[in-house]
Amino acid sequence: ALLIFVGVEGALVYAVWRYRASRQVAGEAATFEQNRRLEIAWTAAPGLILAVVFVLTLGAMAEINGAGVAPAMRITATGHQWWWEFSYSGVKTANELHIPIDTPVELEVTSVDVIHSFWVPELGPKMDLLPGKTNRLRLFVHRAGSYDGQCAEFCGVEHAWMRIRVVAETQTEFDHWLSGQGLPTPAQGNAGERVFLSNICVSCHTIRGTAAVGTAGPDLTHVGARAMIGAGALANDTARMRAWLADPQRYKPGSLMPRVPLSDADLDALAAYLVSLK
């Protein structure tokens, strides 16, 4: 686009300068009624360029979508107001999608409340998540790294804080991550765990390996290993986790997570406990 802009504007500036009035000699300016070869050329050239771009685009889209290649794995993505749930054959996590590179992945997307839309611009087109219906999106990533995305369908007051983080890694790294995600957390018996289990946290969240089996909110079994809190609202560390627990509505107004009245000591213990769940 930049090259085309420079070329067109450069030709325009040159024409204005070259044929300015001060350079005209006496007499009537030359006129041209038609030039069939030139007209054919300037019609055919853009058509040929667009045809080449079209063919290259089809090839790129087919590669992105893994056309003709059977998916090696399937992951279910479920949209909630306002967070993401990812399920790997029963192993659930939230807001952070891990996939292996050079592996065709089929993402089966659905919603439990309103229409959402999964969109990570660097990885391909967006796909709507509809309540009661499953759509499918193919992901095929060649380069390891982190890719950021966003819900692309307005879904309520906190639509802007329904972000996506896709982590593409080698097959070995992915297998190690997935095996860890499938493990329950060992019982710690510390103050933070006791605060969690004795408050309403257990009504909404699951921490496998404990008595907490709520499903209204994200699975927190390995929440400490995630980069972000609240689907992108805050980075994940002890200080920000404490701030989030103290007043979720300050950082994500309208979110379904209430403010739980806890003492400073309980907040400190709970934040440290959750961040330790790697």
CATH number listed for the domain at residues 191-275: 2.60.40.420
Residue 222 CB coordination number (10 Å): 22
- HEC readout, 27-81: CCCCCCCCCHHHHHHHHHHHHHHHHHHHHHHHHHHHHHHCCCCCCCEEEEEEEEC
The pLDDT assigned to 58 comes to 85
CATH number listed for the domain at residues 73-179: 2.60.40.420
How large a percentage of the chain has pLDDT more than 90?
74
The pLDDT assigned to 60 comes to 77
In sequence order, the 6+-apart residues with CB closer than 8 A to the CB of 215 are 204, 206
CB of 121 closer than 8 Å to CB of 209: no
The pLDDT assigned to 167 comes to 97
How large a percentage of the chain has pLDDT more than 70?
93
User: Mean of the pLDDT values across residues 238-245?
Assistant: 96
pLDDT confidence tier of residue 24, bands split at 50, 70 and 90? low
3 state SS of 268: helix
Q: Which of 22-26, 47-51, 271-275 has the lowest mean pLDDT?
A: 22-26
With CA atoms as reference, report the closest residue to 108 among 94, 118, 93: 118
Burial of 205 (0-12, 13-18, 19+ CB in 10 A): buried
User: Mean of the pLDDT values across residues 255-277?
Assistant: 94
pLDDT in tens, 54-87: 999 888 777 666 666 778 899 999 999 999 999 9
pLDDT exceeds cutoff 90 at 251:
yes
- pTM of the predicted protein model: 0.77
CB of 224 closer than 8 Å to CB of 278: yes
Q: How many CA atoms lie within 13 A of 193 on its CB side?
A: 15
pLDDT in tens, 169-218: 999 999 999 999 999 998 888 999 999 999 999 999 999 999 999 999 99
pLDDT confidence tier of residue 27, bands split at 50, 70 and 90? low
pLDDT exceeds cutoff 80 at 262:
yes
pLDDT exceeds cutoff 70 at 115:
yes
User: Mean of the pLDDT values across residues 94-111?
Assistant: 95
CB of 260 closer than 8 Å to CB of 199: yes
pLDDT exceeds cutoff 80 at 28:
no
| pLDDT mean across residues, the chain | 90
pLDDT exceeds cutoff 90 at 32:
no
Which one-letter DSSP state was computed for residue 103?
A: S
